[in-house]
């Protein structure tokens, strides 16, 4: 039976974060397909107040013919709330960051992640699932959840067009990392690799760390102490959250990811789209997202990573090959391709 309406629910609806952006894009697609579609949240950022409803208000929308998509990555009341309505529930699984990354810097977050791990198996009898990557799919299948398919986040690249196209040109090489400054992203390893590049290869190089530090101030304080200890105060730039992220991709010569846990890793696709060569640690979903593109590293040998970055920046033939491969890989995440995969998964819900 075709769904009557398709709505979304999530514990936290954040402005500019990966899941928040995906929920907005998904709502737009569902409405284009003719479905009534709203977003319900437990907590939301003030600027998103007009984009969502309190999750308790869903009782007025609930119907056995509806599909309710629960975005799953952290704990929350909504993860238990969905057990009660008669709607057909579909988890959109964005993966759960292992709590141990957060124990020392954000105990509340660690508890929310533990809660998410605890509650996930309870949904086996109630829900089917969509995974954002094969890595996430494998996790779900191990606990017995029925996986409808793999559907990466719906991405829009319009925000990557810089509002000031020639802003802040530099004579030095720019390393870039985009994303929340969180321990699982292993920003400390990026800084250590950059130290060898900046000290022994190119003194006028810079490392741009673009992203929010909200909820992670203790970790950021430790990063800044590391920067000071290595004498990199003038070379490592913490930008905080930015609106014009496209300008930073335009400035970058190489994108670096040392992350040890990713459910998908959207900045890798953004870097590929912007023709920034990628060097990434081969953890969790990163090998899937990069495919045969970019440079995957399997050991964190900081001097070697610095030499690899130097080769990527200075070897024109290698750089051109990397960019061509990255363009091909980025095309696999084009909005139309992802929409088709989403449609196939929703058709399976209709047939069940």
Q: In angstroms, rounded to a whole number, what is the distance separating the alpha carbons of residues 139 and 264?
A: 13
Q: Label residue 167 by pLDDT band (50, 70, 90).
A: very low
pLDDT of residue 170: 60
Mean of pLDDT over the chain: 94
pLDDT at 137 > cutoff 70: yes
pLDDT at 243 > cutoff 90: no
pLDDT tens digits along 32-87:
999 999 999 999 999 999 999 999 999 999 999 999 999 999 999 999 999 999 99
What is the fold of 160-331? Rossmann fold (3.40.50)
Task: Tokens 């769904």: give the residue.
Answer: 3
Q: What number is the average pLDDT over the span 308-317?
A: 98
Q: What number is the average pLDDT over the span 263-281?
A: 97
Q: What number is the average pLDDT over the span 129-158?
A: 95
| Domain residue ranges of the chain, discontinuous segments joined by + | 6-155+334-351, 160-331
Q: Is 234 helix (H, G, I), strand (E, B) or coil?
A: coil
The distance in angstroms from the start CA to the end CA of the chain is 8
pLDDT of residue 16: 83
pTM: 0.94
Fold agreement (6-155+334-351, 160-331): yes
Task: Tokens 């990434």: give the residue.
Answer: 280
The CATH code of domain 6-155+334-351 reads 3.40.50.2000
By CB atoms closer than 10 A (0-12, 13-18, 19+), residue 84 is exposed
pLDDT of residue 15: 87
């Amino acid at each position: 039976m075709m769904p009557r309406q398709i709505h979304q629910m999530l514990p936290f609806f954040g402005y500019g974060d990966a899941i928040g952006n995906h929920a907005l894009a998904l709502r737009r697609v569902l409405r284009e397909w003719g479905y009534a579609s709203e977003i319900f949240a437990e907590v939301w950022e003030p600027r998103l107040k007009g984009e969502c409803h309190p999750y308790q208000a869903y009782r007025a929308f609930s119907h056995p013919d509806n599909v309710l998509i629960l975005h799953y990555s952290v704990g929350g009341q909504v993860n238990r709330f969905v057990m009660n309505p008669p709607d057909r529930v579909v988890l959109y699984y964005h993966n759960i960051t292992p709590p141990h990354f957060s124990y020392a810097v954000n105990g509340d977050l660690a508890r929310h992640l533990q809660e998410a791990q605890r509650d996930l198996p309870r949904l086996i009898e109630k829900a089917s699932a969509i995974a954002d990557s094969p890595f996430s799919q494998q996790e779900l299948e191990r606990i017995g959840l029925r996986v409808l398919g793999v559907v990466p986040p719906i991405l829009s690249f319009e925000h990557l067009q810089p509002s000031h196209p020639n802003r802040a040109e530099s004579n030095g090489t720019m390393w870039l990392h985009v994303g929340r400054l969180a321990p699982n992203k292993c920003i400390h390893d990026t800084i250590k690799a950059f130290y060898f590049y900046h000290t022994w290869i190119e003194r006028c190089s810079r490392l741009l760390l673009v992203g929010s530090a909200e909820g992670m101030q203790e970790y950021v304080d430790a990063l800044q102490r590391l920067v000071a200890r290595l004498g990199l105060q003038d070379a490592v730039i913490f930008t905080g959250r930015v609106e014009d992220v496209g300008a930073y991709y335009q400035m970058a010569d190489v994108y670096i990811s040392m992350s040890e846990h990713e459910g998908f890793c959207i900045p890798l696709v953004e870097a590929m789209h912007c023709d920034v060569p990628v060097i990434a640690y081969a953890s969790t979903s990163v090998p899937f997202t990069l495919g045969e593109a970019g440079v995957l590293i399997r050991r964190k040998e900081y001097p070697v990573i610095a030499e690899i970055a130097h080769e990527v920046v200075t070897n024109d033939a290698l750089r051109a090959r990397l960019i061509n491969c990255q363009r091909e890989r980025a095309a696999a995440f084009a909005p139309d391709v992802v929409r088709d995969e989403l449609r196939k998964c929703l058709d399976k819900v209709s047939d069940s």
